[in-house]
Amino acid sequence: MDQYLIPPNSQVDLGEIESYYTGEVSKKKGRSQLKKCRKELMDLQELLYAENKRQILIVLQGIDTSGKDGTIRNVFGDVNPQGTHVISFKVPTRHELARDYLWRVHQHTPAKGDIVIFNRSHYEDVLVVRVQNLVPESIWEKRYQHINEFERLLVDEGAVILKFFLHISKQRQAERLLARLDRPNKRWKFNPADLDERKHWVNYQLAFEEMLSKTSTPWAPWYVVPSDRKWYRNMVVGSVIVDKLKSLGMQFPEAVPEIESFRSTLEGMIEDAQA
C-alpha cells in the first residue's frame, strides 16, 4: 500500500495519478480483502482501547462525491462504537470563526485508546477557504506550516495520524451527482451548491496538490487513494489502517497479579447466589 504514500517534500501532480486505478486486483478479491480488514480492524480497535496508550486520528479529504461518507461506513462498519468517533466538519459557526481555525479541531482530537475519524478537517482551511477566497492568501499560505506543527504536537503526545485524499475524476463526479437524482435514498444528498463548487474544479485540484505537497510529513503522511472504484478505495483505506495498527505492536494490559487465586472465591459466589 506504500505506493499510495506521498513522500515528504514531493511535488504532487494529480493529473499523473490515475483515479480509476485498481492494479491487478479484481473486484471479488478487493471485496474479500476489505472483509478481512474489517474483521482485523474490529480486533485491533479492541486492543487499542484496552491498551489505552495511543490516539489514532484518521483524516479524510476529497471533493464532493469522492466518497468520504461511504469510506467511513464501509471500512469502520464493524468497529465498536465505544472508542470510535466520527467528526464531520461543516461550515464554521460564528462562534468558531471568531477564533483561530485550529481551535474547533483541537477539541475533537482523539483521547488515548480512541480512534477519531475526521470527515473533512482543518485542511478545509487551505482548500475551500482558499478556492472561495474566504481569507486572503497572506493568511492561508501560513497555514501549511501551522498544520504541520499542530500535527507534530499531536504525534509527540502519542497520536498516530493517517491522512487519506480520495482522488476521483471530473467525469466520475458528474456521474455520482447524477446518481443522487436517480436513487430515492440519495436525493437528500443533492445540493445545487455542489455544482457551483464543481466550476472551481481546476482550482480545487491545485489546492489539493499544494496541500499534499506541503503537508505530507514523516509524522503525518498523506495517501492519495484512487477512488473512482468504490470497492478499491475501501480496500486501500482499510488495508493502510490495518497495516499501521498492526505495526504498533500493541499489547493487552497485564492482568492483576495472581488472577487465578480469585477463581475459587468467584465460584463460591456463584454457588451462594444459586443457593
CB of 191 to Mg ion, least distance (A): 6
CB of 139 to ligand AMP, least distance (A): 13
- Residue 9 burial class via C-beta count within 10 angstroms: exposed 0-12, middle 13-18, buried 19 and up: exposed
- Residue 63 burial class via C-beta count within 10 angstroms: exposed 0-12, middle 13-18, buried 19 and up: buried
**Binding string to Mg ion for residues 63 to 102, with x set by CB under 5 A, is what?**
-x--------------------------------------
Torsion of Cα atoms, 180 then 206 then 234 then 8, to 10°: -170
Give the strand pairing for 84-88 and 55-61: unpaired
Among the listed residues 20, 21, 89, 103, the single contact to ligand AMP using CB under 6 A: 89
Q: Is 243 in the site for Mg ion (CB under 5 A)?
A: no
From the list Mg ion, ligand AMP, none, pick the one residue 51 interacts with, judged by a Cβ distance below 5 to 8 Å according to partner type: none
Q: What's phi and psi for 119, nearest 5 deg? A: -95, 100
Q: Is 275 in the site for ligand AMP (CB under 6 A)?
A: no
> Facing residues of 159 across strands?
55
Among the listed residues 2, 11, 15, 90, the single contact to ligand AMP using CB under 6 A: 90
CB of 123 to Mg ion, least distance (A): 15
Cα gap 144→162, rounded to integer Å: 17
Instruction: Kindly list the residues in this chain that would bind ligand AMP in the complex (CB under 6 A).
Output: 89-92, 120, 124-125, 128-129
Instruction: Kindly list the residues in this chain that would bind Mg ion in the complex (CB under 5 A).
Output: 64
